[in-house]
Structure 1
């Protein structure tokens, strides 16, 4: 085994990516033993979503400076943090990044100092640090790292892992809820899994699972989250509420904490540069969202009914089924154009469509981003598109079924793609043992119309709605909502066969920009045209005004673009000037699936009417 005497950016990146794999591997186990601070059975999922946000961001990085990688990991953690465990881990990474500063690499002695600073940062940041949780493991390894300042990193993490497991074994002695249920703390165990991944990576053997921690009691408490008492004594507030705000003039962490303290508990707040992330258990989630909107753009918001979550866990335990952590798990295909941060915030499961170049197939959003696709368009690339194979949906449904009592899939219009048919085929080939009900919903739309419907499905599921009721509500909303797009060029529409060569030539000659609508049947139809790029925005806003029903009050909007980011700010301003300064507007670079047919410079508006 080769000694590792320093840690640089490449090493930290690889270690954190591997740690995410370890957490993913143990997600279901962490959900089962989750009883603190409330038995809602979601710690494994929340921690897995947080570390996957970090890993996905780091995979796109090539920096070799440990300081740059640490800052990137901290920012990705804040954006993707879910639940108490994810927020605390993000604070730890933020403390690490601050302590590392601009250093290119770290020695073992320096790393020990960084761990101490990161741990102290977490203790200072938390309203009420509770021993027996993740923070106890952090403090234990910081103590051990300072004692082992003369070792190498491989030996250091072997010893840190031993110390972390000892501290984990003691967590039931520090928290009565854990001892009563016969389990260790789920968040603390998740942090140990992170250390396992790092230790395995540094030892050069990352794919071999390290020794498991023993469970406590005669048998593992498989349904500890369901069996633990959920009462006002353990949790007096109902909604697990989270939000991410972006802004240039955000308030201090202390200011936000003081306001939220009067309205809830389990409070964790992170403020870093232009990001503010909040986690709080409250009975007033809408009041929290309204307060945060006053400081900037509310990028994500979520309010989960913890009583509904615990009821699901109880039903699973009674039926001797695998523990589900939520009533509804949502599946959506990548044509939805929802930002990654919204997909992660609500725990949606994304099934990618395929982009076919001459000699290779690339999965939308996984193998190629919207921005990378636009660069390909500029070089003259002419790919085609294909729906996901049934096998991709089978895998997506399997992952969703691990977390939800039922699954709702919100899919690209069956009139535009074979995606819906592929999902139907997947249902016919599921294993007989797959007994989680799956409900398919044809959005009769695409892009952010489909995305906003998926977001609505997630929100209703978080409130405890049944899948049948959710699908009925989506049908009602879809009937009064829509999406339309303006093309800047005929080139891609011509290449895809959507427009004839004669019309394309005449349109280009006259500088005509066609406006296409997804109609009630989910088909793409021309509805208007405009001459010249400068006239595109006024016409699109006129179309929006014609389409939104008079008197509608509860609305949200989406703006997508294909290499036309310059339209986002002015169109957002106009929408809020016309429909209210707090109107929710989701913006996103359009999926390559749409970009392939719409071409560079196209952009569209989605509107969801919920009255």
Structure 2
């Protein structure tokens, strides 16, 4: 029986629209289990708002080239990325776009290449990548797609794409389940990683849209901490002090490396990803994310190398639950 497939640019637009809708519907539960790297209960919100920016850009882009379309979506997502999870989902989209340049139809080999590229770019974007997070779920998904493609011998048929998509989501789900045991913070709280669940939902939306199916109704059943009757787990965690600084800045690769080293000294959760080349010289726009004790030293370090744009400074404490100290 021929598998019904829609793997063109129109399908990608529907994928991003459905991902925005799904992340919005699940944002409360994703927020509830968000305890790493900061128990600030905003992963669901950050993923939703970042994907909303990606979707809006995709709907306005009329290209039939999958890479061009996804690049436009990723660019918008990167500029409006919220938090660690939002920044990483934007990096995920940008990296997936690279092997898809010039393609008007997704295939199993292209899916494997896109997810492998996304895995590599996402891991390299962080100064201190950690297992048990969205990164390890993406790694699992990429392995699932590559293994399926290898077994299929590079078959670019609709049937092969269907098999690869199913394998990708199954592997991502296994990756989400493993996060609880990979990260001690998650194990103590008895939850899976919130960002990893968000990525799983995005991948299952890709599978569902292309195969003309619905999201798997029982996909998240049994995931640790995800029961809707459970309270917001982050509310039992200590209140976090400090700020989250995000911006866009034009830098050479050398200056970007120097800025990363300086931000590593000043804070943590450092994410830096190139967005686009500026002119003909080796200058790129970079999206920067860091958690720090206070913003002044961080912004001074950034401004020493260039003038940042689209700067946001958010109190980490403001995103956490309110309770009396002690």
TM-score, with normalisation over the residues of structure 1?
A: 0.47
Please say if 1:271 is aligned against 2:280: no
Please give the residue correspondences for 1:353-364 in structure 2 after superposition, counting only pairs within 5 Å: none
Moved more, 272-281 or 78-87: 272-281
Q: Quick one: structure 1 residues 200 and 252, their matched pair in 2 at CA, closer, same or farther if it must change by over 3 Å?
A: farther
Whether the 8 Å contact between 1:40 and 1:310 is mirrored in structure 2 is yes
CA distance in 2, matches of 1:271, 1:159: 30
Bigger helix share: 2
Task: Name the structure 2 match of 1:196.
Answer: 204
- Structure 2 gaps of 5+ residues are 153-158, 279-284
Please give the residue correspondences for 1:223-242 in structure 2 after superposition, counting only pairs within 5 Å: 223-230=232-239, 238-242=242-246
- State the number of aligned residues: 308
1:222 to 231, 234, 239: 231
CA offsets per residue over residues 458-493 of structure 1, 9 Å max, x none? xxxxxxxxxxxxxxxxxxxxxxxxxxxxxxxxxxxx
Task: Name the structure 2 match of 1:65.
Answer: 65
Deviation at 1:276, TM superposition (A): 2.1
Whether the 8 Å contact between 2:33 and 2:225 is mirrored in structure 1 is no
CA distance in 2, matches of 1:301, 1:243: 4
CA distance in 1, matches of 2:139, 2:251: 34
Whether the 8 Å contact between 1:9 and 1:67 is mirrored in structure 2 is no
Please say if 1:141 is aligned against 2:141: yes
- Structure 1 gaps of 5+ residues are 316-611
Deviation at 1:267, TM superposition (A): 0.6
Please say if 1:213 is aligned against 2:221: yes
Q: Quick one: structure 1 residues 95 and 155, their matched pair in 2 at CA, closer, same or farther if it must change by over 3 Å?
A: same
Secondary structure, aligned partner of 2:55? helix
Deviation at 1:20, TM superposition (A): 1.7
Whether the 8 Å contact between 1:181 and 1:221 is mirrored in structure 2 is no
CA distance in 1, matches of 2:11, 2:24: 20
Please say if 1:262 is aligned against 2:265: yes
1:184 to 188, 192, 202: 192
Whether the 8 Å contact between 2:186 and 2:193 is mirrored in structure 1 is yes
CA offsets per residue over residues 133-190 of structure 1, 9 Å max, x none? 1011111111111122234333332232222112111111001111111211111111
Please give the residue correspondences for 1:97-496 in structure 2 after superposition, counting only pairs within 5 Å: 97-149=97-149, 150=152, 151-206=159-214, 211-216=219-224, 221-230=230-239, 238-245=242-249, 247=250, 252-273=255-276, 274=278, 275-293=285-303, 298-312=308-322, 314=323
Whether the 8 Å contact between 1:33 and 1:183 is mirrored in structure 2 is yes
Q: What is the alpha-carbon root mean square deviation over aligned residues?
A: 2.6
Q: Quick one: structure 1 residues 182 and 141, their matched pair in 2 at CA, closer, same or farther if it must change by over 3 Å?
A: same
CA offsets per residue over residues 554-574 of structure 1, 9 Å max, x none? xxxxxxxxxxxxxxxxxxxxx
Secondary structure, aligned partner of 1:50? helix
Secondary structure, aligned partner of 1:22? helix
Deviation at 1:293, TM superposition (A): 4.1
Whether the 8 Å contact between 1:70 and 1:97 is mirrored in structure 2 is yes
Deviation at 1:280, TM superposition (A): 0.6
CA distance in 2, matches of 1:177, 1:255: 31
The higher radius of gyration belongs to 1
Whether the 8 Å contact between 2:6 and 2:211 is mirrored in structure 1 is no
